[in-house]
């Protein structure tokens, strides 16, 4: 049967470029039956994003409003909307776009309940089996290339963390710096993965971190000791294991749309050597 569905996402701040999947709404267009599923305690699951303290309550109220659509004793607020799309649009506006309803899509599923389970796993569910080996290999290649260059080797800092004005700790794989200048923060990603939802959420979380760095700058730490201040214009590099399948390529395109806006450089694996030479010239 043909099922209509919407992904529901939360936005850390009204002006943020970043959003994260929190729930799914499905509807049987023939009967008007609406089913919903949302993350439990989303503020805990999404603590990296530092959402407002009211997030859990707002999402619960959002879900309650949707669930009321199926009951005969609706409130006036719900009853004035004759269809699920109208109600979703109203609720999104009501929460000032802190909770965003994505464009409706359709899927062929056996039933609304089956659709809800499958779509939640695809759009929201966190898959713990993400392929770490490729990310580890990307990190190894970058570290090996950087350490083979004397200028970079003397300026290399492994696994530092940094803090912006929101006081949320963020880690990066490598930093290249002198006494007064940070030449690069480098983080590895593998886009050859079938764990689409968990990976996209990781990319969104990282992008949100850089978004905050671009706004406020920050401070770089190693072993809890302050190393150097970070300018909002600090160079940020994402070194990637490239996507292979068409679906992975589409995910890459969607995941990195915001990177140009945030001045994040995408470094392909085959270009690591060339990039290292350019980096060494900057240090010199």
- Give me the CATH code for the 132-283 domain, please: 3.40.1350
Q: What is the pLDDT of residue 218?
A: 93
Q: What is the pLDDT of residue 147?
A: 94
Q: What is the pLDDT of residue 277?
A: 95
pTM score over 0.95: no
Tokens linked to 48? 């990296």
H runs (alpha helix) in the chain: 42-45, 55-67, 76-79, 84-94, 112-123, 132-147, 150-153, 196-216, 246-255, 257-261, 272-283
What's the average pLDDT block by block, 10 residues per block, for the chain (284 residues)?
Answer: 87 67 87 84 59 72 72 45 67 68 85 88 58 79 92 94 77 92 96 79 87 92 89 97 89 90 95 94 94
How many CA within 13 A on the CB side of residue 200? 26
Rounded-to-integer distance, Cα 274 and Cα 44, Å: 41
Q: What is the pLDDT of residue 160?
A: 94
Q: What is the pLDDT of residue 159?
A: 92
């Amino acid at each position: 049967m043909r099922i209509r569905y919407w992904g529901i996402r939360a936005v850390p701040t009204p002006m943020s470029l970043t959003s994260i999947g929190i729930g799914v709404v499905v509807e049987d267009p023939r009967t008007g039956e609406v089913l919903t599923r949302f993350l439990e305690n989303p503020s805990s699951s999404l603590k990296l994003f530092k959402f407002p303290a009211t997030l859990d309550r707002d999402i619960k109220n959002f879900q309650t409003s949707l669930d009321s659509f199926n009951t005969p004793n609706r409130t006036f607020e719900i009853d004035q909307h004759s269809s699920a799309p109208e109600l979703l649009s109203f609720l999104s506006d009501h929460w000032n776009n802190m909770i965003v309803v994505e464009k409706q899509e359709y899927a062929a599923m056996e039933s609304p309940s089956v659709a809800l389970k499958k779509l939640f796993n695809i759009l929201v569910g966190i898959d713990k089996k993400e392929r770490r080996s490729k990310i580890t290999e990307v990190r190894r290649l970058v570290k090996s290339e950087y350490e083979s260059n004397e200028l970079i080797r003397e300026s290399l800092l492994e696994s530092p963390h940094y803090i912006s004005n929101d006081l949320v700790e963020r880690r990066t794989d490598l930093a290249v710096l002198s006494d007064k200048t940070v030449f690069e923060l480098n983080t590895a990603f593998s886009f050859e993965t079938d764990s689409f939802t968990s990976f996209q959420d990781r990319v969104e979380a990282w992008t949100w971190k850089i978004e905050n760095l671009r706004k406020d700058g920050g401070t770089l730490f190693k072993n809890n000791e302050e190393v150097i201040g970070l300018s909002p214009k600090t160079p940020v590099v994402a070194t990637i294991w490239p996507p292979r399948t068409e679906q992975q390529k589409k995910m890459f395109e969607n995941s990195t749309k915001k990177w140009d806006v945030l001045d994040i450089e995408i470094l392909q694996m085959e270009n690591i050597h060339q990039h290292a030479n350019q980096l060494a010239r900057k240090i010199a």
